[in-house]
Amino acid sequence: MADALGEILLTEEQIRRRVAELGRQISADYAGLELTLVCVLRGAVVFLADLIRHLSLPASIDFMAISSYGSDTQSTGVVRIVKDLDDSIQHRHVLVVEDIVDTGLTLAYLLDNLRNRSATSVRVCALLDKPARRRVPITLDYVGFTLPDCFVVGYGLDFAQRYRGLPHVVVLSPEEVCPRG
């Protein structure tokens, strides 16, 4: 399986160190408060599991799953909630935990939806950011790594449900050359 993949962009060690840093930064920023981590299924599960172990504050976890409508949804950003949160986020500090932000359309929809639920605050922590393809302006409060415009898998991210268990982040196609900024 591994020999069908391309260049390793982020090693296990790089990810481990950065996730620990993010955990420390989030813990400092929210010191004295309680957090609700909203994990966007399914790709962010691995990141969430590591991140929460680096938080030194009380944090609950909830999950949301969304899926695109039809074939042209990636261009329209029309998505549908497949699984909603189990608990109310009213008066809670919410941190959305995302795997990767590409066009930003999915996250824009999700944030719009969450911001109508009377949370005290709603912020975003994305492990990976691919700003080259952004179609809507989005503020990412915490970003693990900024990547070039390449399709990547591993550390939770999939292609057709494969490769989520890889400990590193790797370019899917062996032929793809990632532009460097």
C-beta closer to ligand IMP: residue 89 or 126? 126
- Quick one: 15 or 101, whose CB is closer to ligand IMP? 101
Q: Name which position in 99, 123, 124, 166 contacts ligand IMP (CB under 6 A).
A: 99
Please state the three-class secondary structure of 80-139 as a single string: EEEECCCCCCCCCEEEEEEEEECCCHHHHHHHHHHCCCCCCEEEEEEEEECHHHCCCCCC
Q: How many CB atoms lie within 10 A of CB 34?
A: 11
End-to-end CA distance of the chain: 29
Point out which span in 6-14, 57-65, 85-93, 102-110 binds ligand IMP (CB under 6 A).
102-110
CB closer to ligand IMP, 30 vs 163? 163
Active site includes 149? Answer: no
Is 19 a binding residue for ligand IMP by CB under 6 A? The answer is: no
Residue 43 sits at the vertex; the CA angle it makes with 28 and 106, to the nearest 5 degrees, is: 85
Cβ 146 vs Cβ 164: under 8 Å: no
Does 129 bind ligand IMP (CB under 6 A)? Our answer is no
Query: Of the listed 87, 102, 149, 158, which one is catalytic?
Result: 102
Closest C-alpha among 127, 112, 102 to residue 47: 127
Q: Is 101 in the site for ligand IMP (CB under 6 A)?
A: yes
- Which x/- pattern over 31-50 shows residues binding ligand IMP (rule: CB under 6 A)? ------------x-------
Q: Are 62 and 93 in contact (CB under 8 A)?
A: no
Among the listed residues 104, 110, 119, 142, the single contact to ligand IMP using CB under 6 A: 104
Active site residues: 102
What residues line the site for ligand IMP (CB under 6 A)? Answer: 43, 99-107, 151-153, 157
